[in-house]
């Protein structure tokens, strides 16, 4: 009997440790970030449903769905892919199965279709050009494309009312670029950040590290490239 008690308490500890790797923080009213192993994902609760920024991977996507249910009964209506890199957009099918529409810049979709992967669901809807306003209920999320800087179709999201920006990969607090800067164009990267700084955001959510910061992290990232 004693053995069974010890075994079950060990098991309980393991389950707790596993779920503790994911947590949700409130960025500002109706804006949340889920942190998980190596990645973060933002979600925005509107009066008509939820918008999710990046699915990351199937496990992460399932956890985000669970976390959303702890703060709202609203369904996920849209998942916006930040760019074509699989480590940020795998798992979209989890949301699609829950009724969401998957969205990306048309350049990102072209790359996703060209390099298919079973874990990456192809976007249902694309936008083109430099800016698209995604309005759902009482919230608007502005999607910005500054041209090639990292990956393909890199989209930066902005909530103008809340003055919150979401960055995947092009701003990572307290991290120097890797020795091999895979799929980055440093000049274009710095120039994009300079353009981003003209947008009056006050808070920022990052796909890696952070997860919450502000303008200072963007300036530091740009100044690293001396642009
Ligand atoms: Zn990337």
Tens digit of each residue's pLDDT (9 = 90 or more) over 118-156: 999 999 999 999 999 999 999 999 999 999 988 999 999
Round to whole Å and give the CA distance between 175 and 155: 21
How far, in Å, is the centroid of ligand 1 from the Cα of 138?
30
CA–centroid distance, residue 208 to ligand 1 (Å) = 11
Distance 137 CA to ligand 1 centre (A): 30
Distance 181 CA to ligand 1 centre (A): 10
Q: How far is the CA of 5 from the centre of ligand 1 (A)?
A: 46
pTM, to two decimals: 0.88
Instruction: Going residue by residue through the chain, which has 227 residues, state the pLDDT in tens, using 9 for 90 and above.
Output: 444 444 444 444 344 444 559 999 999 999 999 999 999 999 999 999 999 999 999 999 999 999 999 999 999 999 999 999 999 999 999 999 999 999 999 999 999 999 999 999 999 999 999 999 999 999 999 999 999 988 999 999 999 999 999 999 888 888 776 666 777 787 888 899 999 999 999 999 999 999 999 999 988 888 887 76
Check the CA dihedral 122-127-133-136 and report its sign: negative
Please tell me the CATH code under which domain 23-224 is placed: 3.60.15.10
Note whether 95 and 52 are within 8 A (CB).
Answer: yes
**Contact by Cβ (8 Å): 164, 205:** yes
What spacing in Å lies between the alpha carbon of 189 and ligand 1's midpoint? 12
Place of tokens 């995947």: 168
Which residues sit with Cβ closer than 5 angstroms to ligand 1, an ion?
85, 151, 169
Measure 147 CA to ligand 1 centroid, in angstroms. Answer: 14
Output the CA 227–ligand 1 centroid distance in Å: 21
């Amino acid at each position: 009997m004693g053995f069974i008690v010890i075994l079950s308490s060990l098991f309980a500890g393991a389950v707790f440790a596993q779920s503790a790797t994911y947590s949700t923080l409130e960025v500002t009213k109706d804006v949340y970030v889920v942190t998980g192993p190596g990645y973060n994902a933002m979600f925005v609760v509107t009066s008509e449903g939820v918008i999710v920024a990046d699915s990351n991977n199937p496990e992460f996507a399932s956890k985000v769905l669970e976390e959303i249910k702890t703060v709202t009964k609203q369904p996920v209506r849209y998942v916006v892919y930040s760019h074509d890199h699989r480590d940020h957009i795998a798992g979209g099918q989890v949301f699609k199965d829950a009724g969401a529409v998957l969205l990306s810049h048309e350049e990102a979709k072209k790359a996703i279709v060209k390099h298919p992967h079973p874990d990456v669901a192809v976007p249902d809807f694309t936008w083109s050009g430099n800016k698209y306003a995604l309005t759902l209920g009482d919230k608007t999320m502005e999607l910005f494309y500054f041209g090639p800087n990292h990956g393909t179709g890199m989209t930066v999201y902005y909530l103008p009312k809340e003055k919150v920006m979401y960055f995947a990969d092009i701003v990572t607090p307290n991290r120097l670029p890797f020795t091999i800067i895979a799929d980055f164009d440093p000049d274009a990267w710095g120039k994009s950040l300079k353009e981003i700084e003209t947008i009056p955001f006050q808070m920022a959510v990052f796909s890696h590290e952070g997860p919450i910061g502000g303008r200072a992290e963007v300036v530091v990232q740009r100044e690293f490239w001396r642009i």
